[in-house]
Amino acid sequence: MVCSMAGASSKLALFLLGWVMVALGALTSEHREDDHHEDEYYVAAVYEHHSVLSPNPLELTSRKQALKLMNQNLNIYEEQVMTAAQKGVQILVFPEDGIHGFNFTRTSIYPFLDFMPSPQLVRWNPCLEPHRFNDTEVLQRLSCMAIKGKLFLVANLGTKQPCLSSDPGCPNDGRYQFNTNVVFSSNGTLVNRYRKHNLYFEAAFDTPLQVDHITFDTPFAGKFGIFTCFDILFFDPAIRLIRDQDVKHIAYPTAWMNQLPLLAAIEIQKAFAMAFGVNILAANIHHPSLGMTGSGIHTPQKSFWYHSMVTPRGQLIICQVAKNPVALIGAEKARGEMDASHSRFLKIVSGAYCEKDAQEVHCDKATKWNLNTPPTFHSEMMYDNFTLVPVRGKEGYLQVCSNGLCCYLLYERPTLSKELYALGVFDGLHTVHGTYYIQVCALVKCGGLGFDTCGQEITEAQGLFQFHLWGNFSTSYIFPLFLTSGMTLETPDQLGWENDHYFLRQRGLSSGLVTAALYGRLYERN
């Protein structure tokens, strides 16, 4: 995976760019020796956009004024398209809400909406046929950009669709309004559109009466799936696309407000790629004052991302991505890499290592690994009441349970830091900022030394760990979340199932652990 950042400005971006230039040089040499190597990759880009926002999104305005604001954002898009084209980019993804902004009412957003014909019913090139439909100025500009850049272009905009009073779902104002992703081919043709299904407090938009399960074909990487932001946490359309349509690449516009320790933008993007063995091209909006940043191009094994809470500008990320993503090493291959720690884990999870009766736990020879769990405590994490145990000492084996879920941690620490870490569990219905059922096992750094600080939002840590984290999940849909100090993404050494338990293994960390978690979704219990 070879990547670069155009106009990198933050310390993190500069560091990553320096690493990438070395990789680019190495890969260039490989290409001279093996030209067919290029056939295994495509060049993708995502743009994290610092959008020009309406000063008062609740105020009623005219179509002319709305277009004036949107064209300011489209001008920036066009600059990024041309930069990407110069780098040989074949597909470019822009973020959700990047053109018109957010916080509108149903009425105030209306001048910002383009008319959207169905690509399934109408073949249309807006750039070459600008007068075919009214109120399509934004679609026309995007289509022309795709032609100029000779690339596939994915963008998000607001769209409208008239409906009849005989339609039982038709709103009172006689139109549907959708949060819409559009895909243009390199010749400017409107290839497909996706209307967001899982709206996140978006009063301006309607939920489609039926879920869009949208894919589009490309000549360079085959089939892509597409969905938007909050959709990533739900079965429809995200999981069904992968399960039923064999999608290996995802275009993902988002306007994600970071929420640590479990749902930062880059954290969930990376987790989705790892969990389902796909490539995900994730473009987020860039408004650090609102906690909105974090874009990346993620494969199951590697990620290249941008996250900056200080830089005011947008960021273009360009990567060479494998056409056939390779999944992480699973449990079935773990035995080929046996060491003392993994041997202990396998004995514990098989029940051969420790036996628990009504009074005590009996373990074999190495008594230092006995299950000697300290008393539990409770603390709020992500608005949920987690049950936790403190993680103490240089090594140990811990368990904590809630409802039907038990979480386990087998760990060693090369050095001890003066920080409080805890192992937490939650098995229940999450009800704040959305309602959905989750099962979570989480090893987190607490905000301070008090138990009540566990679950707070932190980004810096010093604690180094080697560990196995696992649980007896009752779902197969599990997102492995893994963050280290400075909003750095880590890739686990192993993931997979062992004796009806799902585990994550990491042999060692190069920087302090912020979060290692297994985030299970029970879609049928929403």
Q: How far apart are CA 428 and CA 36, in angstroms?
A: 50
The single-letter DSSP state of residue 504 is E
Per the annotation, the verdict on 446 as an active-site residue is no
Handedness of CA 69, 73, 76, 81 (dihedral sign): negative
Q: Is 195 helix (H, G, I), strand (E, B) or coil?
A: strand
Vertex 385: Cα angle to 384 and 386 (nearest 5): 105
Q: Which helix (H) or strand (E) holds 164?
A: none
C-alpha span between 441 and 474 (Å, rounded): 13
Residue type, 519: Y
Is residue 363 annotated as part of the catalytic site, yes or no? no
- Say how far apart CA 30 and CA 26 lie, in whole Å: 7
d(CA 294, CA 40): 27
Q: Read off the DSSP letter of residue 317.
A: E
DSSP letters, 284-307, are -B-BGGGTB--EEEE-SS-EEEE-
Determine how many CB atoms are found less than 10 A away from the CB of residue 240: 16
Instruction: Give helix 63-86 / helix 137-149 axis angle, nearest 10°.
Output: 10
Calculate the alpha carbon distances from 96 to 51, 100, 481 in Å.
Answer: 10, 9, 23
Residue identified by tokens 């020879």 is 365
Residue (of 68, 90, 92) closest to 78 by Cα position: 92
Among this protein's residues, is 337 annotated catalytic? Answer: no
DSSP symbols for 39-66: GGEEEEEEEEB-----S-TTS---HHHH
Distance CA 154, CA 312 (A): 23
Token output for 149: 């850049």
CB distance 295 to 305 below 8 Å: yes
Contact 502, 471 (CB under 8 A): yes
Query: What share of residues in the chain are helix, strand, coil (percent, to 5)?
Result: 25, 35, 40
Name the catalytic one among 3, 127, 144, 229: 229
* 8 Å CB contact between 442 and 262: yes
Catalytic residue among 48, 127, 144, 196: 196
Rounded to 5 degrees, φ, ψ at 198 are -100, 85
Catalytic residue among 96, 267, 419, 498: 96
Torsion over CA: 489, 49, 194, 215 (sign): negative
Catalytic positions, please?
A: 96, 196, 229
